[in-house]
Structure formats: C-alpha cells, structure tokens
Amino acid sequence: MSNANMNFNSQKFNGIPFWVIILVVVGFIFISKTVLVVNAGHRAIVFNAFIGVEKRTLGEGLHFLLPVIQTPTVYSVRTETYTMSGQSGEGQQQQGNAIDCLTSDGQKIGLDMSVIYNLIPEKLWELHRQIGPNYVDKIIRPSVRSIARNTIANYTVTELYSGDRAKLQNEISQKIQTEISKYYINSTETLIRNVIFSEEFSKAIEQKQVAMQDAERMKYVLLKENSEKQRKIIEAEGQAAAISKKGAALKANPLLIRYEYVDKIAPGVKTIITNQSSILNFPGDMLKDEPK
C-alpha cells in the first residue's frame, strides 16, 4: 500500500471523512455561541463588542446571538439570602463572619445578620455595567456591615440588651434597603439573628439578675412578715376591744362577776370556802339544776 493511500485512510474515522468531523465540531461551537437558553428565575445581559453593554435584559426562554460579537452573562433574579454569622455552618463564609460593632459607650458586640434581596430584572444591565457579577462582595456585604456598625454606635449596650430588637432591626433594614437600591438591588428584609455580648457584660448581667432575684425574694419575706405583723395587731386590737366591752358590762352589773365564776365551777357545788374566814353561798336559783 502506497503512502498516499495510508494518508487518505488516516483521515477517515469509521468511514466518515475528516473534513465532515471538523465541520460538525465547528457547527456545534457556532450553534452554542448563537443560541442562548435562559432558565426560569434567571435573566441574561449581553455585551456587544461594538457598543458595550446592551441596554436590555433577556428574559426566560430561547435567544439567538451573534457569535464573537455578542457575549451573554446570566444572573439569578430569584430571592436570595446573604448571611453573616459567627456560628459554624451558617452564612456564605466560614465561622467568625459576625459583624463586630462598638456601642455608644464603647462596648464590643457582635451581630449575626441575614439580608434577603433580589436583583431588579429591568435594571440588570445597569448593575452589570456598573458593578458586575461580583455584586455581593462589592455592594451587599460592605453596605450591610457599615450600616450595622453606624447604627449600633447610636445605642448603649444596655439599650441593646433590654430594648426592642424589632425596632433596631427595622432601622437597619430601612437603611440597607435605601443604600443598595442605588445599585439596582432590592432588599426585602433584614434579620438580626443574634446579638453577641462580651463575656464581661454577660457576667455583669448574670450577677445583676441574681441580685434582682435575691431582692425580690427579700421583698417577699418582708411583705410576709409585715402581713403577719398586721394580723397580730388586728388580733390584739380585737381582743382589747372585747376586754373593754366585757369590763364595761361587769361594771354595770356586778352580779355578772359571780355568774361568770359559777359558770366555770363543777356542777352540784352549793358552797365554796374562798379562804379560812369566809364561805361563799349561792342563791338557789343561780345553782338551779338544768332541766332534764
């Protein structure tokens, strides 16, 4: 077999000419660069080699582009959540990503926060032109951290501990929404997941809570003792009033003393010797037997 025949055979793959394979590959590349499929929840921006970023957004579905001239970039316009947290396994970055802040009285605290946002589809080309795909690290993250720190600086550590967290969350959320909307990003909600106080402040709060519990316990003891004191006073006043009334009655009727005495002796006794020189005799009607 001649060298010409060997070269000709080497340009065939299972009977398919080599030039056909090259044509298929080129055609596939051409089609892949020409046809763009935008999936649900996504949008595409087109960079034009002649005019730059085209002022339009490609919606979901099939689109045809000019190879080499038009280059697409696909973005998600779904609702996303970006979390900054000091807890392991939470957030887009590793542990220790909480926002470090200083209160107005110089106390260090940490914030775990989540920002819920979405890109505005109609202005996606503007976002791409001004910021690009790395908008989270360029806009969302620094904006959230800066706003959180500036807001916390207006509060004392005690206000943050005992105050209304919903109020603080709402204040930060409104500021974030205003700030990142400048870059065509819509923030729907900001969540304060946790406020991390320093170890010293936490111990001070714990000691304060123990002291408050002791004070409440002592307050209860004093209240109980005061109630018992009032009860005894009322009881004594009642007894004094009874004695006073009884004394007045005895004074008005001296025979009542003898009656009281007789009422407490054993039945059937007619005479009692009170001392060596006197004998107490009772009238018959006073010691009259009770009817049977």
Q: Which residues contact 186 (CB under 8 A, 6 or more apart)?
A: 117, 118, 119, 120, 177
Considering the domain architecture, whether residues 22 and 102 belong to the same structural domain is answered as no
Considering the domain architecture, whether residues 106 and 164 belong to the same structural domain is answered as yes
- 216 part of a folded domain: yes
DSSP state of 139: I
What is the three-class DSSP state of 103?
Answer: coil
- 257 part of a folded domain: no
40: left (phi over 0), alpha (psi -120 to 50) or beta: beta
Considering the domain architecture, whether residues 68 and 88 belong to the same structural domain is answered as no
Mean pLDDT of 252-259: 64
C-alpha span between 138 and 146 (Å, rounded): 13
Number of folded domains that form the chain: 4
Among 21, 50, 76, residue at a domain's last position: 76
Considering the domain architecture, whether residues 174 and 92 belong to the same structural domain is answered as yes
Task: Kindly report the backbone phi and psi dihedral angles of residue 55, in degrees, each rounded to the nearest multiple of 5, phi listed first.
Answer: -85, 60
Among 51, 76, 101, residue at a domain's last position: 76
Q: What is the pTM of this model?
A: 0.61
Among 76, 98, 132, residue at a domain's last position: 76
Q: Which pair of tokens denotes residue 197?
A: 């106080």
Considering the domain architecture, whether residues 98 and 192 belong to the same structural domain is answered as yes
C-alpha span between 88 and 128 (Å, rounded): 32
Considering the domain architecture, whether residues 87 and 183 belong to the same structural domain is answered as yes
Range of the domain at 8: 3-76
Considering the domain architecture, whether residues 171 and 70 belong to the same structural domain is answered as no
Considering the domain architecture, whether residues 189 and 101 belong to the same structural domain is answered as yes
- 260 part of a folded domain: no
For a pLDDT cut of 70, what percent of the chain falls above it? 61
Considering the domain architecture, whether residues 53 and 112 belong to the same structural domain is answered as no
> In the prediction, which pLDDT does 226 show?
76
Confidence of residue 197 (pLDDT cuts 50, 70, 90): confident
Beta 99-102 vs 108-119: how paired, if at all?
antiparallel
Length of the chain equals 292
Beta 12-13 vs 16-17: how paired, if at all?
antiparallel
Confidence of residue 6 (pLDDT cuts 50, 70, 90): very low
Task: Kindly report the backbone phi and psi dihedral angles of residue 154, in degrees, each rounded to the nearest multiple of 5, phi listed first.
Answer: -95, 0
